[in-house]
Chain A
Amino acid sequence: MLSALMALSYAAFAIFVIVVASKWIKWSSMPMHLRWELYPVPHEAGRHHYGGSYIEEVDYWKKPRETTLAGELKDMFSEMLFIKRVYQYKRPLWWLTYPFHAGIYLILAWFFLLFVHGILSVYISIPALATIVYYLIQICGTIGIIAATLGCIGLIIRRFSDRDMGNYTVGVEIFNLFFILVVLLTGIATWITYDPHFQHAMEFMKALVAFNAAYLPKLTTIAKVHVVLLCLLWIYIPFTKMSHFIGKYFTFHKVLWDDELNVPGSKVEAKVRELTKLPMPWSAPHVDTGKSWDENALESPKDEWGRWRY
């Protein structure tokens, strides 16, 4: 029999995955946009260090492109793992946002390790690995929850004390930070009062991995509250801009680093051909509303083009 908490945990995970996937699909199925890259583009082999592009070559469209995946990965991971741009351009904020994000990464690693531990407990027995995982769980869990909580408190204080940020912050953004903080504080309370070695967390994950409530530990009220809030947070995150890990992939890879060239016969050209057939809905005097982008682009100038109206 599944307990209600187990059912909620499965549902939270499933909703998280489904909504993240649907957002991913939404962003990836958007129409190809005009080129709007921003240099330095890290996959430019041999030129990235100074921000150069393949356009620095005479007859560049005839030449093979030299790109480097390593350059892109380096830039990507230094931003993901170390939040490089905030470190470079707004160091005081980095001291708060970095522990917060690094703490969350460690908590995610902690979840993964609990999952591995569950698999090792239920399906495959490798005692040596289980011991290593056990200690990693202690390290990631402890550092993760402390770092994330301190970072979260720091970010909340900063939102209220720094008018530069506070004047731009709307209610839901404060709510999001407090929601995370409450989940972290209930987690700390559970950890200190009930589960100092994450033994019960491991048992909980074991029950989830085995689909068997018999493995469930007896939870205290604060532990139950924590699990419920944590599940609600998992469900909530993908609906909010806290899911900026999705957006970040697209802003960098599909906008700022998208330098794919349009040459005759290419896929890009085929997409341009289709998109320029779309009818223009705009209403300004210089637009022939309803005609396609192509038809509008090739029109002869008219007197009313220079006028304005609303």
Chain B
Amino acid sequence: MGEVEILSREIKPEDAASPVDQLVKLTVRDLEKLPPPYDKPGMEPELTDPKPEWREKYATDLDGYIAIDLPWKPQNKEEEERLVKSFLSGLNKLLTKEGNWTFLQPLLLSLEYCAKCQTCSNACPIYIMSGKQEVYKPTWRAEILRRIWKKYCTPAGKIFGKFVAGDIELNAKTLLRLAESAYRCTLCRRCTQTCPIGVDNGLISHEIRKLFSQEMGIAPKALHELGTVQHLKVGSSTGLTPDGVRDIIEFIEDDIEDKIGKRIKIPVDEKGADILLIHNAGEFLSWPENPAAFAILFEEAGLSWTLSSEQVAYDAVNYGVWYDDLQLARVAAKHAEIANKLEVNKIVVGECGHAHKAITVVADRVLHDDIWIPRESCMPILWEIVKKEKINFDPEKNNFPVTLHDPCNMVRLMGVVEPQRKILRKLAPQFREMEPHGVYNYCCGGGSGFAIMTSMNFPEWRNAVATRMKFKQVLEAFKDCLDPSINKYICAPCSNCKGAIRDMLSYYKAPERLSIYYGGLVELMVNAMVDLEEPFIEWEFH
């Protein structure tokens, strides 16, 4: 393969159709600078090119990175025509009540009323930290979809053409870039907060993803084939089976005994408990100390609770919320069905942001009749444990610098903001906020599935670009104590955020250079328990 052709001028929305190989090529020098000590050269890895052979079948046409790890690039004219036809068929379905009652009104409002004022651009951490690359601007992908919609689906666009719809050509390149660009947005919806008209460019990314998935099954494998499909077929998007989860729970019981000198029997499949607690199954595999800490707190506080070992119900994740309404409904219905079978009073979601939003808020209008059950966040319950002094805590045990990462799904997208902060103000004497925080926070960079999309070269883009703003915030939050002799703790009460933060810290070698570690909220709570003789937090990077 010869030299890769990159567009060498200012990029506009109509350039989505450009015949060049790649619209933009990123280098570290293009990216927004990081604060000290990362302001010096050599503190972060150089960015790499995609493997030449990937260009043949995968969509490297946007920026060289591949989120959709399927070989879906058309190989001839017939395939290209078929792709365009399928896309237009999907777009028309996206505009009908039958196909898209779920988001029809919000989508059409956002397509119709954008004033192109670009007030939203500077709210986007990816656009800013990429050095303001046009293709990451919240309006770039939205404008491409808007122009296609105007041109092919509205009477004004059909009559007046370019005058109304703008310049856009619909070919394979346009669609490959449009689909990939929908996976350069974490759906954090920070841009929407700034829009004077309430236009939602995050939603447009979501709808583009959905069109490709629901019409063609085109989505990153980690979200679809290995995500929701595996979740529904095997029991968890991690591949964890019911037998596997029972084994891990036993292991966690042993581990708790080792750590606190007392055996706790973790309730599993207990009918009639008050609470069905559902963790992100990633916790069982990567951070078992998190379900262990929940078990310690819930048992010590005397709550009536259970875990489930039934397929799907031991994994709180619902990747459907990021790309496919049907898959969202399937997972949510299964969670509710199993909870009702267990005769619990409510589902409580563990430390997993998107699972919070998916089952509590978004799926609220999917569940009905026999598949309805109350659902709530674990945060208010955890705060009640502290507030009502159900357990004795000694904040001095947490006397090290702590900052809080707000998962977007928990704060901006469902308004659970204060309980976790109240806990930290009470139990972490050196707690300091990131700026901005709460509902105006920045995404960890792993949102909307990015944290679990680990194939091909996507993690490089995530670490270098998507998580960059979070890393900047972390460095600023700890700027008074960067000395590596001081252990510092990023409290990230969300599994996917933890995954992204783990990779981010590792990419920038922050544990060894600066002693910055991360973990959940419950681990900090257990660490502060008076009854514990040894610290629960072990300051190991994993």
A contact residues vs B (CB 8 Å cutoff): 27, 30-41, 44, 47, 50-61, 79, 83-86, 88-90, 93, 97, 163-165, 167-173, 175, 241, 244, 247-248, 250-252, 254-256, 259, 261-262, 264, 268-269, 271-273, 275-276, 278-287, 293, 296-299, 301, 305-310
- How many A-B pairs have beta carbons closer than 8 Å: the answer is 300
Known: A35-B364, A170-B165. A284 touches B214 (CB 8 A): yes
Q: What is the CA–CA distance of A20 and B160 in the complex, to the nearest angstrom?
A: 22
A310 contact from B200, B218, B418, Cβ within 8 A: B218
- How close is A100's CB to chain B, nearest CB, in angstroms? 12
In the complex the two chains form, is B416's CB within 8 Å of A53's CB? Answer: yes
Q: Which of A59, A171, A279, A310 contacts B98 (CB 8 A)?
A: A279
Asked if residues A251 and B109 are in contact (CB atoms below 8 Å), the reply is: yes
A293-B329 contact given A51-B411, A251-B200, A256-B198, CB 8 Å threshold:
yes
B396: shortest Cβ distance to chain A, in Å? 28
Residues of A within 8 A of B99 (CB): 280-282
Interface contact A309-B417, CB-CB below 8 Å: no
Bound CA–CA A134/B416 (angstroms): 53
A279 to B117, CA, bound (A): 38
Scan residues 192-233 of chain B and give those whose CB is less than 8 A from a CB of chain A.
192-200, 203, 213-219, 224-225, 229-230, 232-233
**B residues touching A (Cβ–Cβ < 8 Å)?**
10, 12-13, 70, 72, 79, 82-83, 86-87, 89-90, 93, 96-99, 101-106, 108-110, 112-123, 139, 143, 147, 160, 162-167, 189, 192-200, 203, 213-219, 224-225, 229-230, 232-233, 324-327, 329-330, 333, 346, 360-369, 371-372, 374, 376-377, 379-381, 384, 411-419, 438-440
Q: Which residue of B lies closest to A169 (CB)?
A: B116
Across the interface, name the chain B residue whose C-beta is closest to A283. B215
B368 and A272 form a contact (CB under 8 A): yes
* A199 and B105 alpha carbons, distance in the complex (Å): 46
B interface secondary structure, majority: helix
Closest to B80 in A: A310
Closest A residue to B348 by beta carbon equals: A58
Inside 8 A of A308's CB, which chain B residues have their CB? 70, 72, 216-219
**A to B CB contacts below 8 Å, 15 in the list:** A33-B365, A36-B203, A38-B413, A58-B380, A83-B196, A85-B119, A89-B119, A170-B164, A170-B166, A175-B163, A251-B106, A279-B98, A286-B224, A308-B218, A310-B72
> Contacts of B104 on A, CB cut-off 8 Å?
30-31, 33
A284 touches B216 (CB 8 A): yes
Q: Which residues of A are found within 8 Å of B384, using beta-carbon distances? A: 58
B105 touches A255 (CB 8 A): yes
* B contact residues around A89 at 8 Å (CB): 119-120, 122-123, 194
A276 proximity list for chain B (CB < 8 A): 329, 366, 368
> What is the minimal beta-carbon distance from A285 to any residue of chain B, in angstroms?
5
Q: A83-B196, A281-B99 are in contact. Are A286 and B414 (CB under 8 A)?
A: no
Bound Cα distance from A90 to B362, whole angstroms: 31
Given the known inter-chain contacts A34-B365, A85-B119, A262-B367, please indicate yes or no for A251 contacting B412, CB distance below 8 A: no
| In contact, B90 and A52 (Cβ under 8 angstroms) | no
Verify A97–B117 contact, CB threshold 8 A: yes
* Cα of A39 to Cα of B104 in the assembled complex, Å: 21
Q: Are the CB atoms of A38 and B193 closer together than 8 Å? A: yes
Q: Complex formed: what's the CA distance from A286 to B494 in Å?
A: 29
Partner of A283, one of B13, B89, B413: B89
Q: Cβ of B327 and Cβ of A244 under 8 Å apart?
A: no
> What separation, in Å, do the CA atoms of A305 and B361 have in the docked complex?
26
- Chain A positions within 8 Å of B376 at CB level: 55, 58-61
Residues A86 and B365 in contact, CB atoms below 8 Å apart = no
A34 in contact with B366 (CB, 8 Å): yes
A310 with B83: CB separation less than 8 A: yes
CA distance A33 to B116 in the complex (A): 25
Q: In the complex, how many angstroms separate the beta carbon of B516 from the nearest chain A beta carbon?
A: 27
When chains A and B are docked, how far (Å) is the Cα of A282 from the Cα of B329?
A: 15
In Å, the complex CA distance between A131 and B327 comes to: 66
Whether A31 contacts B105 by the Cβ 8 Å rule is yes
Across the interface, A51 reaches (CB within 8 A) one of B139, B215, B417, namely: B417
Find out whether the CB atom of B113 lies under 8 angstroms from the CB atom of A298. no
**Is A39 touching B105 in the complex (CB atoms < 8 A)?**
no
A167 and B377 contact, CB distance less than 8 A: no
Given contacts A31-B97, A33-B101, A310-B86, 9 further A-B contacts (CB under 8 A): A33-B104, A34-B102, A36-B103, A53-B414, A168-B139, A175-B163, A269-B368, A279-B98, A284-B217
Q: Indicate the member of A56, A86, A282 with the most B CB atoms within 10 Å.
A: A282
A241 proximity list for chain B (CB < 8 A): 112-115
Check if B372 sits within 8 Å of A262, measured CB to CB: yes
Partner of A255, one of B109, B166, B330: B109
- A283 neighbours in B (Cβ, 8 Å): 86, 89-90, 215-216
Asked if residues B193 and A299 are in contact (CB atoms below 8 Å), the reply is no
Residue contact B116 to A38, C-beta cutoff 8 Å? no
Are A56 and B418 interface neighbours, CB within 8 A?
yes
Top 10 closest A-B pairs, CB basis?
A53-B415, A251-B198, A51-B439, A308-B217, A170-B166, A306-B225, A247-B113, A284-B217, A31-B101, A310-B86
Residues of A within 8 A of B160 (CB): 172
Asked if B326 contacts A244 (CB within 8 A), the reply is no
Among A60, A85, A301, A307, the residue within 8 A (CB) of B195 is A85
Contacts of B86 in A (CB 8 A): 283, 310
Q: Which of B115, B119, B330, B368 has the most CB of A within 10 A?
A: B368
A84 / chain B contacts, CB cutoff of 8 Å: 196
State how many angstroms separate the Cβ of B484 from the closest Cβ of chain A.
34
Contact with B438, one of A51, A248, A298 (Cβ below 8 angstroms): A51
Enumerate chain B residues within 8 angstroms of A37, measured Cβ to Cβ: 361, 413-415
Residue of B nearest to A255 (CB): B106
Give Cα distance in the complex from A54 to B214, angstroms. Answer: 33
Does A296 lie within 8 Å of B362, measured CB to CB? no
Q: Is the CB of A41 within 8 A of B326?
A: no
Minimum CB distance partner of A88 in chain B? B194
Residues of A close to B97: CB separation below 8 A: 30-31, 278
Q: What separation, in Å, do the CA atoms of A306 and B118 have in the docked complex?
A: 38
Q: Judging by beta carbons under 8 Å apart, are B439 and A268 in contact?
A: no
A38 pairs with B109, CB closer than 8 A: no
Interchain CB contact under 8 A, A301 and B232: yes
Chain B nearest CB: distance from A101 CB in Å?
10
Please determine whether B224 and A306 come into contact, CB atoms closer than 8 angstroms: yes
Q: In the bound complex, do residue A33 and residue B215 qualify as a contact, i.e. CB atoms below 8 Å apart?
A: no
Chain A residues within an 8 Å CB radius of B381: 58
Given contacts A55-B376, A89-B194, contact A307 B232 (CB under 8 A): no
Enumerate chain A residues within 8 angstroms of B374, measured Cβ to Cβ: 59, 61
CB contacts (< 8 Å) of B329 on chain A: these are 276, 293, 296-297
Name the distance in Å between B229's Cβ and chain A's nearest Cβ.
4
Contact B143 A168 (CB under 8 A): yes
